[in-house]
Structure 1
Amino acid sequence: MTGPARRATGRGVSRGVSRDRHGRGIRSSVTVPPLPRLRTRADLFESTVASTADYLRDLWADDLHDVRVEVADLPSRLGVETDNPTDTAGVERWRVAPSEKRITLFRVPVERFSKLQRSDDVQRQLYVESCVFRAVAEYLGKDPWDLAPERYRSL
């Protein structure tokens, strides 16, 4: 036995883009097209470095008023050569030049060689801030914990 007979309506069944089912309008895609990120990782790194440097400049205005804090992708030379190519101990995360009054943080080594417990935005930001604190502490010849003792004191 065959199925129910279909009537010929004179129009073809088009299941394309312009299908209007039950008067609800033309169907659209379920997901939106991928949009570019509003901020890249490099932008987030630079803004974190800038805001942390501004914070430290406010605390240590006399010592840091004319010091430039810069961001570069990679150091010009990759530190000490080792036999093991996976050894990251010789790669600089930052460079301090007191004679030039400059601190340079290197984005790629800081991001790539960080060993975070959780890889989320907050942990990455805290790690970048800690690198800025350590670089400024090296520039000033102080311990990083002494730069902002009130920040870490619990109430």
Structure 2
Amino acid sequence: MAWRRTRTPEKTPARRSRHGRHGREGRSAVVRPPLPPLDTRVERFDLAVGTAVEFLRSAWPELREVRFEIADMPTAADADGIPRWSVLSDERRIVLYRLPIERLGHPHRDDDLHRRMIVEGAVFRAAAQYLDRDPWDLGHDRFH
């Protein structure tokens, strides 16, 4: 008669060890779970500037050939303090300075929407200075 091994039912489930029969650790999953997208202040700033510029270019043909650039800080302060942007009309360029816009702007509430409004407001004011217009003239339909 052959001897058979029978398992007796256990009350608690058996714990699986990560070690295999050769004493090595078991393998991990080949594909990791998807990581959340990176969401940094720089990326949020770039997105806010990009959408505002896209709107302005669609509404004002004069801005289609203007380069909008983003720099961290201006090279020097002027008589009015630290500039938020520089308008270089002869080069058809507008340079927005991220750190002064983010840190010196005072939103009514400290949330993503109001921080984005600070950035978009700076883009509109810089474009208005370039066009020699009032900022409210640039996007009057946008704010109704």
Counterpart in the other structure of 1:100: 91
Give the partner amino acid of 1:70.
E
Taking the aligned partners of 2:15 and 2:96, their CA distance within structure 1 comes to 54
Deviation of 1:36 after TM superposition, in Å, equals 8.2
- Percent pairwise identity: 42
Deviation of 1:118 after TM superposition, in Å, equals 1.1
Deviation of 1:74 after TM superposition, in Å, equals 0.2
User: What does 1:8-47 align with in structure 2 at a 5 Å threshold?
Assistant: 23=13, 38-47=38-47
Counterpart in the other structure of 2:111: 120
SS in 1 for 2:91: coil
Which ranges in structure 1 are unaligned for 5 or more consecutive residues? 1-21, 27-34, 81-88
Taking the aligned partners of 1:136 and 1:25, their CA distance within structure 2 comes to 66
Deviation of 1:23 after TM superposition, in Å, equals 3.6
Residues matched between the structures, number: 115
Taking the aligned partners of 2:15 and 2:51, their CA distance within structure 1 comes to 49
Structure 1 pair 54–25 and aligned structure 2 pair: CA distance change class (3 A): farther
Structure 1 pair 24–106 and aligned structure 2 pair: CA distance change class (3 A): farther
SS in 1 for 2:90: coil
Counterpart in the other structure of 2:71: 72
Taking the aligned partners of 1:119 and 1:52, their CA distance within structure 2 comes to 20
SS in 2 for 1:70: strand
Q: Normalising by structure 1, report the TM-score.
A: 0.68
Q: Normalising by structure 2, report the TM-score.
A: 0.73
Asked if 1:110 corresponds to 2:101, the answer is yes
